[in-house]
Chains A and B, each alone.
Chain A
Amino acid sequence: MTNSSSILEHGGVARRTSSALVVRALALTYLMVMLIIPLAVILQDGLRDGPGAMVRSIAKPVALHALMLSLWTAGLMAIINAVMGTLTAYVLVRYRFPGKALLNAIVDLPFAIPTLVTGVMLVVLYGPQRALGAWFDQNLGIKIIFAPPGIILALLFITFPFVTRAVQPVLLSLDRDQEEAAATIGAGSWTIFRRVVLPAIAMPLIAGTLLSFARAIGEFGAIVVVAGNIPLRSQTAAVYVLGEIESENQRAASAMSVVMLAIAFGLVVLVDYLQRKRDDG
């Protein structure tokens, strides 16, 4: 690459001035202080006694149960969200019906509402002393609050926009000639969706689902209200970390934090890779 072309590509003119260097120094210092140093400190603390000690700390029944609860509730949520998010995006893009604009606005609602408030909402609706909560408990034997169903409901609420908003723009820009061609040769609705639409939206669908999963693993505000803090029953990984911090059990808190960070980091990198692959191809 010649020098002049690299100047053109990277903003050239601004790059040469001293103010650009000042801005760069400001930006990098800010990221260093806000992002890199805190991450480094927690990694250092979690791995202080070696990875063996970290694994032993995670393998304790209470810790392992909390981590597993977070993983399976987030996993189940991700599957439901992938299906319902895609369906919502599809309905919003392809159909006209009264109230469509309202539905489109409601999709963003969970982004706006603080997750703690989401938790409060679910407790008001399904709490054991509430009519609906008591009905579920007595007639169906399903406990929602302080139990996994409440966790899954809270996660579904919070992550609802992730898949829909990832799929929607791609679906909107999709060229429909292929669908029409498939219809001409007699393909049914489901076949067209599976063979033509789904491959086209696969990347954003996977990216959105993974992001919602990553977000759900770390969710705290809604879950601490909905699930409470009952070890070995409804305590998730994030709530477990809080408990260990409060009882000044730093090693356990750090070990779980490092595991959660590793999962979050892995998923963010994976999503970044998927998106870049899509943009390149």
Chain B
Amino acid sequence: MMDEISDLERDKQTSRPADKQIGPEQVLSWSPGLPVSLSGRGWLKWLLIGIVIAYVAVLILAPLGALVAGAFSGGLGAIATALNEPDVLSAFWRTLLIAVIVVLVHTICGTAVAWVLVRQNFRGRRILNGLIDLPFAVSPVVAGYMLILLFGRTGVLAPLLAALGIQVAFALPGMIIATLFVTLPFMVRELMPILHAFGVEQEQAAATMGASGWQTFWHVTFPALRWGFIYGLTLTFARALGEFGAVLVIGGSVQGRTETATLYIFRALNDRQYVGAYSAALVLGLISLILVIGADLLRGKEH
């Protein structure tokens, strides 16, 4: 009988560690035979767990392991040599530069967008709110192509850019804009629910006591948003590091000029420089992984 008790009951017991023995109230709460529910059958439980673990192992862990093995096939020295090439280093620096600029812009503009969408009411707010998620769904190739149509040689803004002497397409500015587009939702979507939950009472109280708008934001709103900020920034940064399709289209992948880390991996793969491609992919994957896991841990600490 005890073995038949569902995990539900076990959860209840462990959540009340003080009385592990079955006390009178628990006897009242489970009349005999009742909790043999869905999760109750031992074999079913282990079957379902087994299916999920097998699925995750085949789908995610096996490819991950293969990449690690592939990168290390030539030994640690080969990885170091492959990554120490000047064009690889410059590609990684370019990626880092783009990601840092993107994070800075989204810190300011993304926060402003989140704040305006939550706190202000104006015509078209609902539509804008729906559009924020669009970059999640739009193909990165299409995102890059939109910018080509705007900033390219025959683009809508070409005459203006020529007059100003600025090159956007096939240059760093275009790649930054492309990365801004694909990472737009992260910061906004991270901050909006927090702003919403935080409410306006404290902001109003601060304003009643004579605080200016900026003071209110800095001393009242910002502290409440802090963890959301950190999490949103990390996700934005990780996503910016890994962006590929949009920067390929708008940047053109010119070696030594507009080649980022992902674009280098793609070129190395096409040129059959496998150790270089695998090592760079491993490094890029690891950096993103550490960032996201770090953010997850921070979030765990907050709750």
| Measured CA separation A197–B237 after assembly (Å) | 37
A87/B291 contact (C-beta < 8 A), A27-B113, A112-B238, A160-B60 known: no
Taking a contact as CB atoms under 8 Å apart, the answer to whether A19 and B212 are in contact is yes
| Measured CA separation A61–B115 after assembly (Å) | 47
Q: Does residue B88 face the partner (Cβ distance < 8 Å to A)?
A: no
Q: How many residues of A contact B (CB 8 A)?
A: 102
| Chain A residue with Cβ nearest B135 | A35
| Chain A residue with Cβ nearest B30 | A180
Taking a contact as CB atoms under 8 Å apart, the answer to whether A157 and B60 are in contact is yes
Q: How large is the interface on B (under 10, 10 to 19, 20 to 34, 35 or more residues)?
A: 35 or more
Q: How far is the CB of A253 from chain B (nearest CB, A)?
A: 6
Taking a contact as CB atoms under 8 Å apart, the answer to whether A34 and B181 are in contact is yes
Taking a contact as CB atoms under 8 Å apart, the answer to whether A211 and B136 are in contact is yes
| Measured CA separation A241–B141 after assembly (Å) | 7
| Chain B residue with Cβ nearest A241 | B141
What residues of B have a CB within 8 angstroms of the CB of A20 in the complex? Answer: 119-120, 213
Taking a contact as CB atoms under 8 Å apart, the answer to whether A24 and B120 are in contact is yes
| Chain B residue with Cβ nearest A243 | B141
What residues of B have a CB within 8 angstroms of the CB of A34 in the complex? Answer: 177, 180-181, 184
What residues of B have a CB within 8 angstroms of the CB of A225 in the complex? Answer: 266, 269
Q: Does residue B172 face the partner (Cβ distance < 8 Å to A)?
A: no
Could you say which of A42, A112, A268 contacts B146, with CB atoms under 8 Å apart?
A42
Q: Does residue B64 face the partner (Cβ distance < 8 Å to A)?
A: yes
Taking a contact as CB atoms under 8 Å apart, the answer to whether A120 and B292 are in contact is no
| Measured CA separation A113–B35 after assembly (Å) | 41
Main secondary structure of the interface of A (DSSP, over half): helix
Q: Does residue A142 face the partner (Cβ distance < 8 Å to B)?
A: no
Mask of A183-214 contacts with B, CB within 8 angstroms, 1/0 = 11000010011000100000000000001001
Q: Does residue A109 face the partner (Cβ distance < 8 Å to B)?
A: yes
A117/B214 contact (C-beta < 8 A), A42-B145, A95-B7, A220-B139 known: no
Residues of A within 8 A of B (CB): 6, 8-15, 17, 19-20, 23-24, 26-28, 30-31, 34-39, 41-42, 45, 84, 87-88, 90-91, 94-97, 99, 103, 105-118, 120-125, 130, 153, 156-157, 160, 176, 179-180, 182-184, 189, 192-193, 197, 211, 214-215, 217-221, 224-225, 237-239, 241-242, 245, 253-254, 257, 260-261, 264-265, 267-269, 271-272
Please give 6 more A-B residue pairs, beta carbons under 8 A apart, in addition to A11-B203, A28-B116, A35-B132. Answer: A10-B119, A113-B289, A114-B243, A124-B67, A217-B139, A268-B134
Please give me the 4 A-B residue pairs with the lowest Cβ-Cβ distance, nearest first: A114-B242, A218-B139, A11-B119, A121-B63
Residues of B within 8 A of A (CB): 7-8, 10-11, 33-41, 44-45, 48-49, 51-53, 55-56, 59-64, 66-67, 69-70, 108-109, 112-113, 115-122, 128-143, 145-150, 156, 177, 180-181, 184, 200, 203-204, 207-208, 212-214, 216, 238, 241-245, 248-249, 262, 265-266, 269, 277-278, 281-282, 284-285, 288-289, 291-293, 296
